[in-house]
Amino acid sequence: MKKNIISLIALLPTILWAQSFDFDLTKPQPIYNDQDGFGYDILPAPNKKAPAEPFYFSVKVPDGNYTVKVVLGGKKNSNTTVRAEGRRLLIDNVNTKKAKETIEYSFTVNKRSPMIDSKTKVKIKEREKTYLAWDDKLTLEFNGDMPAVKSIHIEKADVPTIYLCGNSTVVDQNNEPWASWGQMITRWFGPEVAISNHAESGLTARTFIGSYRLDKILTTLKKGDYVFVEFGHNDEKEHRPGDGAWYHYQYQLKIFIDQVRAKGAEIVFCTPTQRRQFNADGKSIRNTHGDFPAAMKMVAEKENVPLIDLNKMTTDLYIAVGPEDSKRMLVHYPKEMYGRELADNTHFNPFGAYEVAKCVVMGMKQLNLPIIKYLRNDWVDFNPSAPDDWKTFKWAPSRIVEIVKPDGN
């Protein structure tokens, strides 16, 4: 008997590894509850007799990476977009035009909770407590003009992970109309890699570390993983002794380098995204980041860290479309849309975040990072000076809306 127990304990990792879930959505499914550990969530369950509406489906799983296979379609004229957790875009605008036509997609989702160990957890902000990214469930959002989902398969995955560190320009923005490049870059990677976004609005390099977010990453970070770091917007506003681009900022960046490399993983820097601040000529952008981009470049050069100049790329984006159309990339909306006028020159809307994510992917390609081999087949190289037309961008808005501006600027 003792021998059998020992054998079972030895097999436990294998048992957990083999954990998988299958759901046939052509059949009735429960409303999510802790006892079942799966079901329709957030919104009411879809009414099969009515025109298709967006819905969420959640499964309770431990922290980790999970490969998800969805079979979409089965109905005539379906249009489906798939997102995960905090509106991470994975599949967009999949169309079927005849009955019984189905299309299968696979992607990998990283699920995490605030717990680091039995005594320590990430110091999440009050606003983060409602985030889908920090709970004990893997949540999928099915949206679009006419979403149609036949089945979902979920299984544990052992794949490289790309960890994201940053502020409100990187975070998985939970609510419409806000968005960031970290939740859009997931669109361009296949199931061979997972993206784990630990960014949060209002954070600096120092407060990211101080809230144990880097510690959380380090618990699972391994050789073959990547850590992308973008800070600057909020670091500029720190005014304690020693603060500024050339001391505390560089000092914190060095902590990221040392801790990541100690785990055998790779680190990549991204200079801070530009704010939409045109000069009087309407043809150039005012530098609002001071010495911070240069300070990051200096550390990157000294420590041999690959760097994506996102500051320059987003400057090129704004200049390419001009003072007026550049508003289409940020949270600029008339009063009629959200009850009051929104005019934010820092935070992206879904289209802007989508374009900035493409900048980051192009930066990866220019650096020839090995992870570009995981890009989806429909990736097309992108030029920030010739961005996509906002009029052709199609986004299925989530039903979760919050017009309160994210922390930071």
**pLDDT tens-place string over residues 347-376:** 999 999 999 999 999 999 999 999 999 999
Would residue 11 count as lying in a domain? Answer: no
Tell me, yes or no, whether 340 and 306 share the same domain: yes
Residue 125 resides in a domain: yes
% of the chain residues with pLDDT over 70: 96
Whether the pLDDT of residue 8 is over 70: the answer is no
Would residue 81 count as lying in a domain?
yes
Both 145 and 244 in one domain: the answer is: no
Q: Give the pLDDT confidence score for residue 3 in this predicted structure.
A: 44
State whether 167 and 128 are in the same domain.
no
Per-residue pLDDT averaged across 20-34, rounded? 95
Single out the residue of 92, 90, 79 nearest to residue 149, CA to CA.
79
Q: Which CATH number do you get for residue 60?
A: 2.60.120
Q: How many helices and strands, by DSSP H and E, does the chain display?
A: 8, 16
- Which pLDDT belongs to residue 1? 43
Residue 3 lies in a domain: no
pLDDT class of 47 with cuts at 50, 70, 90: confident
Cβ neighbour number for residue 198 with a 10 Å cutoff: 24
The number of folded domains in the chain is 2
Q: What is the DSSP string of 93-132?
A: EEEE-STT-EEEEEEEEEE--SBSSSS-B----GGGGG-G
Do 175 and 255 belong together in one domain?
Answer: yes
Is the separation of the CB atoms in 131 and 87 below 8 Å? no
- Asked if 93 and 56 sit in the same domain, the reply is yes
Of the chain, the percentage scoring pLDDT greater than 90 comes to: 91
364 found inside a domain: yes
Q: Are residues 186 and 65 in the same domain?
A: no
Segment 165-214, tens digit of pLDDT: 999 999 999 999 999 999 999 999 999 999 999 999 999 999 999 999 99
Could you say which of 97, 126, 157 is where a domain stops? Answer: 157
- Cα 146 from Cα 360, distance rounded (Å): 31
What pLDDT was estimated at residue 4? Answer: 47
Question: Based on the domain organization, do 144 and 198 belong to the same domain?
Answer: no
For residue 78, tell me if it sits in a domain.
yes
Of 157, 184, 207, the position where a domain reaches its end is: 157
Strands 266-270 and 307-308: parallel
SS3 213: helix
pLDDT, tens digit, for every residue of 90-129?
999 999 999 899 999 999 999 999 999 999 999 999 999 9
Structural domain including 143 reads 19-157
Q: Is residue 1 part of a domain?
A: no
Residues 255, 396 share a domain: yes
> What is the C-alpha to C-alpha distance for residues 258 and 109, in angstroms, rounded to an integer?
27
Question: Higher model confidence: residue 239 or residue 265?
Answer: 265
Mean pLDDT of the chain: 94
CB 299 within 8 A of CB 332: no
pLDDT at 268 over 80: yes
Q: Are residues 115 and 166 in the same domain?
A: no
pLDDT attached to residue 253: 98
Query: The domain that contains 375 carries what CATH number?
Result: 3.40.50.1110
Is the pLDDT confidence value at 405 over 60? Answer: yes
**Interior angle at CA 332, CA 345 and CA 384, nearest 5:** 60
| Final residue of a structural domain among 157, 172, 207 | 157
40 plus 136 within the same structural domain: yes
Same domain? 181 vs 151: no
Same domain, 266 and 323: yes
Position 5 confidence tier, pLDDT thresholds 50, 70, 90: very low
In a domain, 5, yes or no: no
Task: Give the dihedral sign, CA 227/90/310/286.
Answer: negative
Examine residue 62 and say whether the peptide bond preceding it is cis (omega within 30 degrees of 0): no
pLDDT tier for residue 233 given thresholds of 50, 70 and 90: very high
Q: List CB contacts of 398: < 8 A, sequence separation 6 or more.
A: 54, 83, 87, 141, 143, 175, 176
